[in-house]
């Protein structure tokens, strides 16, 4: 991690119920580490100025099985109400001098530090309110949000993420093309997990 012109903190969302997986996604083995640990490792290799990890479902078990590497871990006790509560919990943990928040998903191990750093670089250059990476025109993750939009997250409810805001923010969104299809890949089901474990770009390549 490294400091930039404006303080940008990553928020890893890992509080979900893993309903479609049938197992605790964060603890699935991904190479030589749990899946969530790989996501955290990529974040720590980047130029983010800090990292917050939001847990909920099976938080105690995850805390015992994952090395958080110094990231701040917070527990969202309202995780059953959906992802919006985790967004709010993550933003609530940020210091007052934080200028930007990058939302990372705990089930996206292919999000590299290069992608994270590309978004940070554009944020510093242009101070865009909302940055979204794209691959061949398709929007992916993570998204980077300026503090001027933080208060809008407080009004989101249910099992939805920040994307629910996009329709009303069309003129404030900047898409950032990246040469990495990993921004489009998350691990939601056991079939996806097994497929990506076997793929050439699996754990050893991420």
Domain contains 3: no
Domain contains 1: no
Domain contains 2: no
What is the pLDDT at residue 81? 87
- Domain range for residue 135? 8-205
User: In the predicted model, is pLDDT for residue 179 greater than 60?
Assistant: yes
Domain contains 136: yes
- Please spell the DSSP secondary structure of 76-142, one letter per residue: -TTGGG-HHHHHHHHHHTS-TT--EEEEEETT-TT--HHHHHHHHHHHHHH--SEEEEEETTEE-S-
What is the pLDDT at residue 155? 80
Domain contains 40: yes
Number of structural domains, the chain? 1
Cβ pair 166, 126 in contact under 8 A? no
- pLDDT tens digits for range 95-151: 999 999 999 999 999 999 999 999 999 999 988 899 999 999 999 999 999 999 999
CATH number of the domain within which 147 lies: 3.90.550.10
Q: At 19, is the secondary structure helix, strand, or coil?
A: coil
Domain contains 166: yes
Domain contains 151: yes
What is the pLDDT at residue 166? 74
């Amino acid at each position: 991690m490294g400091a930039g012109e404006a303080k940008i903190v990553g928020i890893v969302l890992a509080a979900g119920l893993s309903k479609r997986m049938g197992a605790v996604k964060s603890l699935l083995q991904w190479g030589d580490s749990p899946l969530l640990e790989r996501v955290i490792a990529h974040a720590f290799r980047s130029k983010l100025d800090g990292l917050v990890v939001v847990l909920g479902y099976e938080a105690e078990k995850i805390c015992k099985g994952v090395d958080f590497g110094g990231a701040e871990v917070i527990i969202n006790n309202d995780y059953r109400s959906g992802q919006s509560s985790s967004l709010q919990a993550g933003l609530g943990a940020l210091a007052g001098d934080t200028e930007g928040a990058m939302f990372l998903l705990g089930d996206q191990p292919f999000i590299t530090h290069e992608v994270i750093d590309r978004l940070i670089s554009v944020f510093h250059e242009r101070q865009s309110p909302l940055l979204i990476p794209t691959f061949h025109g398709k929007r992916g993750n993570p998204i980077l949000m300026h503090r001027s939009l933080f208060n809008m997250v407080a009004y989101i409810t249910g099992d939805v993420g920040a994307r629910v805001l996009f329709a009303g923010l069309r003129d404030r969104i900047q898409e950032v093309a990246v040469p990495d299809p990993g921004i489009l890949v998350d691990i939601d089901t056991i079939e996806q997990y097994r497929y990506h474990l076997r793929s050439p770009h699996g754990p050893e390549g991420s």
